[in-house]
Structure 1
């Protein structure tokens, strides 16, 4: 039997399968980005942005909690069973949305979607880190996140086009049905366990390999400057994504744009984000993590200010594209920071806890968007998010040290 080896090339077949699986995970979010805010207004006749955006908040809380569970279970029982469980939770999601008689059903569907995303996306991240080892960690994370967010973008645009042709329900959500069936078949038949690769990189017997769950949580949340700075930046990034999910379609619709135009604008942000990560993950291996994270957060602040100030489609398109560039710089670099600092023995838990804080940003963005929009306007909510992104960038600039093994100061 061939001894397993670390490296992207050495594990190309399994790595490619996991990239494809993560694309399907992202597509589950994309199927509803364009359509759900419009369903709330046009089908369920809801008023009050805070209530409308409750589905994003529910998604964020469920995903955050599931990230932690995924990390603990994957370290203790293996990665593959957690990945399979994530897809079982995703199976009812499109069906619930297609046939929901009340908005509460949509919220339940998004709780299940959050569990699907937390278990499945977190586990594909950990599995890829297991396979490639430290030298190509940024590249691996870039490919992983690019696949997920390109799928978000393409599915978002496709769902908008389908909705324009066939209505808001049920046709756009047939995409989600197809994604779950394909993923369950691929994971069941072809994906292999990767926890055995941890031993190749392990530091068994070192203090880093013997941390308690409580210590790991404290390090990732506030104690370790690098890990906690990554958690804050991740939360700010996903606050912007959560806000865009709820606010952007309604902001653009209020200006008179149609479903196709809204679908294109909503898709542009994750499209640029996804494509950009094909380069930025590799770039973080080349120049280090901190420059990309710092620049990315300040770019996001500027992009949100542009979106808030614009009132035409070209201005919004430029703003959403720059927002995507900022997220592309940040996302794989932050995951690489976690992989750089966390020891192999507690890597799954560290990834899970980081993603708890990062994905609570969805909830923060939804609540911020709803409360500020109800109190003032949708545009004001975007301005507030711009200020928070700039504040997070400042913290990263001051507190995050370089973590790349070959770029750390001597």
Structure 2
């Protein structure tokens, strides 16, 4: 295994493990909020605010971690600190339950824990994004890590909930402690060495991988300022926002939907979520590589339309089996869209701007997750599950139709073949 592949695998494993720890809580969130003080009859609103609390911290604190990496000049210590802080946050949730404290205390702990966890997650992705070897390939690796983490977390989290509602919380804490230990072994110069390895970079990209202003995870003010300088980034940002919104929707409403409508246990709901996450994970790498070869337009635009209709299909399915089958379809189309959208960011941004550009994408993505919880939870509780699926599916189709011309202008005939990836050999050949 050459150096770039080894670095890519290590960083992807860190991202994967953080996602597992996060998603462990999702299948049993209904049971968890009950033992954390919300009460057994709290409904979807309590679960919504429990998830919103963490992602609100993600949005606010992602830029702070990037600024800290600038000031320190290193990333690995911050990944370790973020993982350790996240682990402590999960253990604090166990303390809230054992001490029978009010639910608002649990929400406060979620905010603080999320503020720490986003450091490990965000900086891990940024380091992965800077590697050479093809933007679609690198973002496909990121998507593979995220999807596999979500898939495993949903299955294992559901099983752990059947043992005890707090078991997934303890499992998440243990996993983040392991992440901290693993992150401490990562070479600080991993990105620099990958960028300087001529065997892995035949076109000599001008990305040095150093931790500078361009590599920081920006705050919202920085993102908006960057959009003023390069407004075309708004196109992949908008797609990223909606795509993450749908993921947040399934993480909350999907769980409650399959449990309330079809009477599934937490383990059953986790298994159904995995039907989405497994193909979403497994297909991201090949679909990301495909977008390097055929361009971004078809995966982004056509994939988004199909993805939106598949989401609606889950909501209108008459019984569990077709609903579960549609979850697989949703995962396939989601995998087609996600890596191409992330790769479009690096296609549009200049080499010296890619760190900040991807940071902006992550900020919009976190806002999308947050909005997915709020829109999905509110629509499901006030209108009903079917209406919630219709709203979210229409949003996915709508962004594809509204941005069709913009995507075609940014990626005419396959932008990937006109960039550095055209000269790259197929990795692993």
Does residue 335 (structure 1) correspond to residue 335 (structure 2)? The answer is no
| Corresponding residue to 1:29 among 12, 15, 22 | 22
Structure 1's 186 and 285: CA in aligned 2 closer, same or farther, altered over 3 A?
same
Structure 1's 189 and 92: CA in aligned 2 closer, same or farther, altered over 3 A?
same
Residues in 1 aligned to 2:7 and 2:117: alpha-carbon distance in whole angstroms? 20
8 Å contact from structure 2 (residues 293, 416) kept in 1 = no
Structure 1's 226 and 366: CA in aligned 2 closer, same or farther, altered over 3 A?
same
Does residue 167 (structure 1) correspond to residue 171 (structure 2)? The answer is no
Structure 1's 321 and 106: CA in aligned 2 closer, same or farther, altered over 3 A?
farther
8 Å contact from structure 1 (residues 70, 352) kept in 2 = no
Aligned twin of 1:67: 62
Aligned twin of 1:137: 135
| Corresponding residue to 1:270 among 249, 271, 277 | 277
8 Å contact from structure 1 (residues 37, 246) kept in 2 = no
Aligned twin of 1:5: none
CA apart distance, 1:38? 3.1
| Corresponding residue to 1:201 among 201, 205, 226 | 205
CA apart distance, 1:356? 0.8
Cα deviation code 1:295-333 (max 9, x no counterpart): 231122112111111242212212221221222112222
Structure 1's 328 and 116: CA in aligned 2 closer, same or farther, altered over 3 A?
farther
Residues in 1 aligned to 2:232 and 2:345: alpha-carbon distance in whole angstroms? 8
8 Å contact from structure 1 (residues 79, 195) kept in 2 = no
Aligned twin of 2:306: 299
| Corresponding residue to 1:146 among 136, 144, 148 | 144
Residues in 2 aligned to 1:365 and 1:273: alpha-carbon distance in whole angstroms? 18
Structure 1's 290 and 125: CA in aligned 2 closer, same or farther, altered over 3 A?
farther
Residues in 1 aligned to 2:304 and 2:158: alpha-carbon distance in whole angstroms? 29
Residues in 1 aligned to 2:92 and 2:360: alpha-carbon distance in whole angstroms? 29
Does residue 404 (structure 1) correspond to residue 400 (structure 2)? The answer is no
CA apart distance, 1:294? 1.2
Instruction: Between 110-119 and 21-30, report the one with greater CA deviation.
Output: 110-119
Aligned twin of 1:98: 94
Aligned twin of 1:14: 7
**Counterparts of residues 108-123 of structure 1 (less than 5 Å):** 108-123=108-123
CA apart distance, 1:75? 5.1
CA apart distance, 1:189? 2.6
Cα deviation code 1:77-102 (max 9, x no counterpart): 33323322321331223213333334
SS at match of 1:241: helix
Aligned twin of 1:3: none
Structure 1's 52 and 185: CA in aligned 2 closer, same or farther, altered over 3 A?
closer
**Counterparts of residues 288-367 of structure 1 (less than 5 Å):** 288-367=295-374
| Corresponding residue to 2:50 among 28, 48, 55 | 55
8 Å contact from structure 2 (residues 27, 267) kept in 1 = no
Cα deviation code 1:212-267 (max 9, x no counterpart): 98996247547645411111111111111111111112111112222332121122
CA apart distance, 1:130? 2.3
Cα deviation code 1:355-389 (max 9, x no counterpart): 11111011111111222223221222121111111
RMSD over aligned Cα atoms = 2.9
Aligned twin of 1:183: 179
Cα deviation code 1:149-208 (max 9, x no counterpart): 2122112101212222x1222x2233212211211111113342346356863389xxxx
| Corresponding residue to 1:156 among 154, 169, 178 | 154
Instruction: Between 351-360 and 79-88, report the one with greater CA deviation.
Output: 79-88
TM-score by length of 2: 0.82
8 Å contact from structure 1 (residues 95, 173) kept in 2 = yes
Structure 1's 81 and 201: CA in aligned 2 closer, same or farther, altered over 3 A?
farther
Residues in 1 aligned to 2:65 and 2:337: alpha-carbon distance in whole angstroms? 23
8 Å contact from structure 2 (residues 74, 188) kept in 1 = no
Residues in 2 aligned to 1:294 and 1:220: alpha-carbon distance in whole angstroms? 24
The count of corresponding residues between Structure 1 and Structure 2 is 393
| Corresponding residue to 1:392 among 399, 407, 414 | 399
